[in-house]
Structure 1
Amino acid sequence: MTKPSLNTQVAPLVRDLIDNADALRVGVSKGSLGETLIDCGVNSVGGLEAGRRLAEICLAGLGVVSFETASTSDKWPFLISVHTSQPVLACLGSQYAGWSISGKDADGKDFYMLGSGPARAMGSSEPLFKELDYRDKAETAVLVLEADNAPPAALVEDVAKACGLPPEKLTFLFAPTSSLAGSVQVAGRSLEVALHKAHELHFPLEDIVDGMATVPIPPPVPGFVEAMGRTNDAIIYGGRAQLYVKGDEAAAKKLAKELPSKNSKDYGKPFAEIFAAVKGDFYQIDPMLFSPAKVTVTCLSTGKSFEGGAIDDAVLNRSFS
């Protein structure tokens, strides 16, 4: 089956965001090299809808992100739901924040940003794309940055060179995690986190046929660490994923058992506390922690479903409150 061009697929969503910039309270401008800059939460107010659209752009237009309501008796009844019929390509090939870009800006200051979105499939050197057997070619490229400032010109130059495009063909969207749009965009990675964990567990990606996931909307909070904590906790303690897989039933059962976050040695405390305990060294945190709280895996060859994990309201309440 022919795989779609991620950057071509996402272009209409970016155009629509630009066309409705005023209504969505996002700022659109041109950078010094001619690149398009879309501010979704730094100097612009942005909002929940800007974040929802930002999450769909991260998925390269191959997924649907929606706001839903659970039981009104729940303390956090409002949810972000994600679905894509191309879970591996949309989540791992685009949404995953795997492109590390660093250097020095015009003032000689160091910068480091993680990029997500369809431009990764054109310019990033991540080994993951060899596994996916995919590279994109398009006339334009789109990169999303979880950042509290616009990308410096040096970063734009690096991305343009890596993608083989002039800067004026690039669009950068950015918002800090502490903003409304940023919190929605990051928490909207619930399905991507499930796919990434499945990959870490060496489950065959080609056997993942479809998927969906949902998380409670984390309340934004000032400060990067606190905001990062709440968005991670939304997934780790409040996220639920459903994967539809082909292949062996025993493999589906094993995935349901091993994928939930409760299997991590670091499970049980709000993420901000875990981060503080390792003195801000992200790589000291058990990578098995980054997965949804509860998982259902349906084996398409037999029709049987297997569950693992559970929603942890106690830790979620500590984090969100």
Structure 2
Amino acid sequence: MSNLPTLNDRAWKIAERLLNDPDQYRVSQPRPGLLDCGVQSTGGLEAGRLVAEICLAGLASVSLVPAERSLWHGPAVQVQTDHPISACMASQYAGWQLKGEKFFAMGSGPMRAAAHREAIFADIGCAEQPTRVIGVLETSKLPPHEILEKIAADCHVEPKHVLLLCARTASLAGTMQVVARSVETALHKLHELKFDLKKVVSGYGVAPLPPIARDDLTAIGWTNDAVLYGGEVTLWVHADDDELHAIGPKVPSNSSADFGEPFAQIFHRYSGDFYKIDPLLFSPAVVTFVNLNSGRTHRFGTLQPGVLQQWLRG
């Protein structure tokens, strides 16, 4: 049996920094099992960075860097990982729908690997049986205890061994952890296109960090725009150049007929139903493949700075 730490254990190690010094990170623990990083608590950039790394199971580094100046004069969120499947698909991808009385959130983080309820785990593996689990909820309200109990049951742990980190999208931490999903969106698109993710060795992504919006709906629009129109991802792969040439144009967001409009307008046009939006839209603006087999580089997609200028108008 492997002695390597589980995805959940790696994430817990990072979370202990928040738990041990909540005042430094402007977070709070309103009750056992919950860590408020941006719902009622203020949170901050460092809290958001740590939440993003927790979401990636400690197998990726997240940092703030200067944004491409043609896009935005503020910072950008940079992500890099040498474990793209485990970090992004088994952990960070928000694939777990959590429903309760007057509560709904998409769950992400390594608790997903403990539950392994989603069909994607049949393709990527990465299921695990940890003794404690941790997850991240993008939500404007703290979850009821029944949500924590449901997660505990699905992950086969006691409720006291569950930790949920919560932040609304319109918060510093919430905005940052969402924009840190540039690599994940590229991998998810590749999986939808039936590309073998085991061919991906490493990933790097950067997307501009928008201002903190006045409400969650606006924030959802801006954070999606950051990746769809300003996100750039590089993937190092072992693949055939002809395969990359064929699949490449389908990967970036401009492969969708909905490409070009601010996400808030698209969302409104589909009556606020994510599942009605063209799934081809959800990927970075630009994706570059570096083929480790041939040494060739393949770049696809286009940045759309004009869409992001709305941030300056508020």
C-alpha distance in 1 between matches for 2:293 and 2:175: 37
Q: Which residue of 2 aligns with 1:87?
A: 84
Residue 17 in 1 paired to residue 18 in 2? Answer: yes
Change (3 A) 1:2 1:268: farther
Q: Which runs of 4+ in 1 moved over 3 A?
A: 1-4, 70-75
Unaligned runs of 5+ in 2: none
Q: Which residue of 2 aligns with 1:254?
A: 246
Q: Which residue of 2 aligns with 1:188?
A: 180
Q: Is the CA contact 1:59–1:118 (under 8 Å) kept in the aligned structure 2? A: yes
Residue 133 in 1 paired to residue 119 in 2? Answer: no
Residue 307 in 1 paired to residue 299 in 2? Answer: yes
1:209 to 184, 189, 201: 201
After superposition, residues 50-65 of structure 1 pair within 5 angstroms as 50-65=47-62
Superimposed CA distance per residue, residues 18-75 of structure 1 (whole angstroms, 9 cap, x where no aligned partner): 12211110112434xxxx2110111111011111111000001000000011466763
Q: Which residue of 2 aligns with 1:115?
A: 107
Q: How high is the sequence identity, in percent, across the aligned residues?
A: 41
Aligned residues: CA RMSD: 1.7
Residue 318 (structure 1) shift: 2.5
Residue 5 (structure 1) shift: 1.4
Q: Is the CA contact 1:68–1:81 (under 8 Å) kept in the aligned structure 2? A: yes
Change (3 A) 1:320 1:181: farther
TM value normalised by structure 1: 0.93
Q: Is the CA contact 1:229–1:319 (under 8 Å) kept in the aligned structure 2? A: no
Change (3 A) 1:280 1:70: closer
C-alpha distance in 1 between matches for 2:236 and 2:57: 21
Residue 295 (structure 1) shift: 1.1
1:37 to 34, 37, 52: 34
Superimposed CA distance per residue, residues 158-194 of structure 1 (whole angstroms, 9 cap, x where no aligned partner): 1111111111111110000011110001111111001
Q: Which residue of 1 aligns with 2:44?
A: 47
* Secondary structure in structure 2 of the residue aligned to 1:266: coil
Superimposed CA distance per residue, residues 66-88 of structure 1 (whole angstroms, 9 cap, x where no aligned partner): 00114667633411000111001
Say which is worse superposed, 221-230 or 233-242, in terms of deviation: 221-230
Q: Is the CA contact 1:278–1:285 (under 8 Å) kept in the aligned structure 2? A: yes
C-alpha distance in 2 between matches for 1:100 and 1:74: 33
Q: Is the CA contact 2:221–2:262 (under 8 Å) kept in the aligned structure 1? A: yes
C-alpha distance in 1 between matches for 2:311 and 2:122: 38
Q: Is the CA contact 1:245–1:252 (under 8 Å) kept in the aligned structure 2? A: no
Residue 169 in 1 paired to residue 170 in 2? Answer: no
C-alpha distance in 1 between matches for 2:242 and 2:48: 38
TM value normalised by structure 2: 0.95
1:264 to 256, 259, 283: 256
Q: Which residue of 2 aligns with 1:103?
A: 100
* Secondary structure in structure 2 of the residue aligned to 1:196: helix
Residue 224 in 1 paired to residue 216 in 2? Answer: yes
Q: Is the CA contact 2:67–2:207 (under 8 Å) kept in the aligned structure 1? A: no
* Secondary structure in structure 2 of the residue aligned to 1:28: coil
Residue 281 (structure 1) shift: 1.8
